[in-house]
Amino acid sequence: MSVDAKDFKQAMRQCAGAVALVTVGAEHGKRTGLTVTSACSLSDNPPSLIVCVNRNASAHARIREEGAFAINFLHEDHALLALTFSGQKGVNGDDRFAFGQWTSGVTGAPVLIDAAAAFDCVLAQEFETKTHSIFVGEVRGVSHLASVAPLVYLRSNFHTPQEMREAVALGDLDARHLSWTDFS
Ligand SMILES: Cc1cc2nc3c(=O)[nH]c(=O)nc-3n(C[C@H](O)[C@H](O)[C@H](O)COP(=O)(O)O)c2cc1C
């Protein structure tokens, strides 16, 4: 039995995802990147993450060429960056780096200076699927900011955990009697 894409997407809309930018390119003028919610940790030994990148995304071929990329998790003030790197602002490739503050990681990949958490990775493995590649990144550099609220994508909107919590508390009478730990 197969499930159609519409039902799949409808169900995925109910799943909150941490918003990140996958960035690649040591040379100015040749950088690119995209917005993702498919990045997650793989292991702490060796420290590594995975991310699923559409083969049509401009960063896909560049990640293979460079053998390195960064995963920059965004915070509440980065919604415009998320829109820009998702191609929704008509800004492409290296021009996207006119937005945000960037430095170069030890691998040469562009790293967002004020990311909630940034992971500078070498490409360790790639698993090709029908439309996307699962890239495995082994971490060579890491930074984080503990004081910021992370950016989350849920039901086609960008939120922070605080906003999501208030929505739950206000929206559902029963929820008032549940503490947040009941959800985690
Ligand atoms: C919230 C959000 C999450 C996304 N997650 C992914 C993802 O995990 N993998 C992916 O390949 N594209 C994802 N996309 C789509 C890409 O960001 C978009 O297609 C981008 O324009 C691709 O880069 P390009 O324009 O340089 O080809 C996401 C878009 C949004 C708005």
- Average pLDDT of the residues in 129-143: 97
Asked whether 84 lines ligand 1 (CB < 6 A), one says: no
Q: What is the pLDDT of residue 173?
A: 46
Residue nearest to atom 22 of ligand 1 (CA): 57
> Is residue 33 situated within a structural domain?
yes
Q: What is the pLDDT of residues 40-58, one digit of tens each?
A: 999 999 999 999 999 999 9
Domain holding 104, by residue range, is: 17-183
Report how far Cα 131 is from the mean position of its chain's Cα atoms.
Answer: 18
> Is residue 8 situated within a structural domain?
no
Q: What is the pLDDT of residue 62?
A: 98
> Is residue 139 situated within a structural domain?
yes
Q: What is the pLDDT of residue 167?
A: 58
Q: What is the pLDDT of residue 161?
A: 82
> Is residue 2 situated within a structural domain?
no
155-164, long-range: CB within 8 Å, 24+ apart, which pairs? 155/13, 155/14, 156/13, 158/19, 158/79, 158/82, 159/16, 160/76, 164/16
> Is residue 154 situated within a structural domain?
yes
> Is residue 9 situated within a structural domain?
no
Asked whether 36 lines ligand 1 (CB < 6 A), one says: yes
Q: What is the pLDDT of residues 143-180, one digit of tens each?
A: 999 999 999 999 999 998 887 766 555 444 444 444 54
Q: What is the pLDDT of residues 81-121, one digit of tens each?
A: 999 999 999 999 999 999 999 999 999 999 999 999 999 99
Among 34, 126, 154, residue to substitute to test ligand 1 (most atoms within 8 Å of Cβ)? 34
> Is residue 12 situated within a structural domain?
no
Q: Is residue 111 packed enough to be buried (19+ CB in 10 Å), middle (13-18) or exposed (0-12)?
A: buried
Q: How far apart are CA 88 and CA 53, in angstroms?
A: 17
CA 76 to ligand 1 center in whole angstroms = 18
38-43, long-range: CB within 8 Å, 24+ apart, which pairs? 39/71, 39/73, 42/136
Q: How many domains does the chain have?
A: 1
> Is residue 7 situated within a structural domain?
no
CA 34 to ligand 1 center in whole angstroms = 5
75 strand-pairing partners? 150
Q: Which CATH number belongs to the domain containing residue 139 in this structure?
A: 2.30.110.10
